[in-house]
Structure 1
Amino acid sequence: MTLNAQRRDAASGKGEWLVVFLHGFGSTGADLIAFADYWQGSMPNTAFVAPDGPIETKDGGFQWIGKRPAGDPKLYDDAVDAAPRLHAFIDAELARVGLDASRLALVGFSQGTVMALHLGLRRAVAPAAVLGYSGGLVGADRLKDEMTSKPPVMLVHGEQDRLAPLYGMMTSVKAMTEAGIVCQGVPLPNLGHAVNADALIYGARFLLSAFAFRDKHGA
């Protein structure tokens, strides 16, 4: 079964990159595709897609994995279960826009960040970038054994986030750095479990830098 998705074609008409947005619990792709409206001006050659998660929630939104406490080992099991369909969706979207797997970036929010990290570090070809907001890594103890690629990673997290406390970002950055991944954590003051203008600016700069690096150095 395919996933419903919102799309924005490259503003220039020539897509050289694909950004896949992965939303949080109870949300939809339509919520995150709005990020593209902020970024398209500086990324005219980038196409964007934001799928809905495969599981409907009670309020009409969607989810990728269960709504579980941070650190629950079942989060890893959920991510493993959700991964094949998302990998297939991403591969189909890359084919749709005529790009190879090295021209991909994954951007997640909350449990979408969990999935972006889980997928991005296990792709056959490393994405150009993985950007996560208000979320972190699951299965850190399995990472070194399962990791198949090392994309650059940035995690942006509100210091006032009570749903996903900041220490989760810090432990995720530590685990990925120890696994040899170039990873940066950006704590933002006065921000809760949300994305604000500063978070979008940091994210855009990171993606543009990662795209330029991939263009210069290749996959």
Structure 2
Amino acid sequence: MHKIIGPEVLPLSGKQAKQLVVMLHGVGADGENLIDLANNFQDMLPDAHFIAPNAPFPYENAPIGYQWFSLNDRSEKALLGGMEIAMPILNAFIDQQLERFNLSEDKLILIGFSQGTMMSLHLSFRRKNPLAAVIGFSGALIGEQALERELNSRPPVLLVHGEEDSVVPFPLMLYASRVLHKMSIPITTYKCEGLGHMINLEGINKARDFLKQLI
């Protein structure tokens, strides 16, 4: 099985980690693209250990970067198949990190961007025990019927999306919200007006507010 690694940020407090924040990057990027996001949460999560693993597969459309799964075939069947290959790799990594810090799943926060959000949503609801929170920027939920069959847990979710996103269109967030609400998964959404496919300070502040309600 592929092993994944990535950059880390140690707890600001200098103490033993009491939370684990795993950040999943988008297609064609790597963990370095997302790890600096930790700076926006350290003050409110001083005992959190942050890690942004590189996806397990080289990005197939460029000589650099990584991908969680291929986007060359964007049919639901192909996307689900790709995520099913990546999921045990990511689950093994998460379990390893939880064991490393002697933490339970209710101390785990997943933060994703774009394809990383797709993986976060796919994985989190299928784990046996609920995570502390899932925060997804500019992503999508793939496979409503598959999720209905495979749903195991209902962690609280925040989805943040740019209204002008031309890569992962904004209506996909509305679709995800409807599906998760129907499945009784706690879902909060936030629209960033005029924003494209990116994370901005407005969205980060919404994520901070969301976490303040949970910790």
What TM-score do the two structures reach when normalised by structure 1? Answer: 0.92
* Deviations, residues 75-95 of structure 1 (Å, cap 9, x unaligned): 111111110000000000111
Task: Give the equivalent residue in structure 2 for 1:149.
Answer: 153
Aligned residues of 1:113 and 1:136 also touching (Cα < 8 A): yes
In the TM superposition, what whole-angstrom CA distance separates every residue of 1:112-167 from its partner, at most 9, and x where no partner exists?
00000011101111101011000011111221210100000110000000000011
Deviating more after overlay: 96-105 vs 173-182: 96-105
- 2:206 is aligned with 1:202: yes
Distance 1:188 1:63, change over 3 A: same
Q: Secondary structure at the match of 1:48?
A: strand
Give the Cα–Cα distance (whole angstroms) in 2 for the partners of residues 32 and 162 of structure 1: 20
User: What's the secondary structure of 2:7's corresponding residue?
Assistant: strand
Is 1:112 equivalent to 2:116 in the alignment?
yes
What is the aligned partner in structure 2 of residue 129 from structure 1? 133
Q: Residue 34 of structure 2 is aligned with which of 32, 39, 53? A: 32
CA contact 2:5–2:54 (8 Å) conserved in 1: yes
- Which runs of no fewer than 5 residues in structure 1 stay unpaired? 213-219
Deviation at 1:71, TM superposition (A): 5.8
Structure with a larger share of its residues in helix: 1
**Count of paired positions:** 211
Partner of 2:82: 78
Change in CA separation of 1:71 and 1:133 when aligned onto 2, cut-off 3 Å: farther
**In the alignment, what sits opposite 2:6?**
5
Q: Work out the CA distance in 1 between the residues paired with 2:71 and 2:208.
A: 28
Check the 8 A contact 2:76/2:143 in 1, yes or no: no
Shift of 1:43: 1.3
Please give the alpha-carbon distance, in whole angstroms, between the structure 1 residues aligned to 2:41 and 2:75.
Answer: 32
Conserved? CA contact 1:54–1:63, under 8 Å: yes
1:186-201 paired onto structure 2 within 5 Å: 186-201=190-205
Distance 1:113 1:49 in 2: 15
State whether structure 2 residue 55 is matched by structure 1 residue 18.
no
Query: SS in structure 2 opposite 1:130?
Result: strand
> Which residue type is aligned with residue 88 of structure 2?
P
1:91-116 per-residue CA deviation (whole Å, 9 max, x = no partner) reads 00111122112211111000100000
Indicate yes or no: 2:64 matched with 1:42: no
Q: Which amino acid aligns with 2:49?
A: A
Are residue 64 (structure 1) and residue 65 (structure 2) matched? no
- Conserved in 2, the CA contact under 8 Å of 1:129 and 1:152? yes
CA contact (8 A) 1:43 1:208 kept: no
Measured on the aligned residues, the alpha-carbon RMSD in Å equals: 1.3
- Structure 2 gaps of 5+ residues are none
Scaled by the length of structure 2, what TM-score is found? Answer: 0.94
- Structure 1 residue runs of 4 or more that deviate by more than 4 Å after TM superposition: 68-71
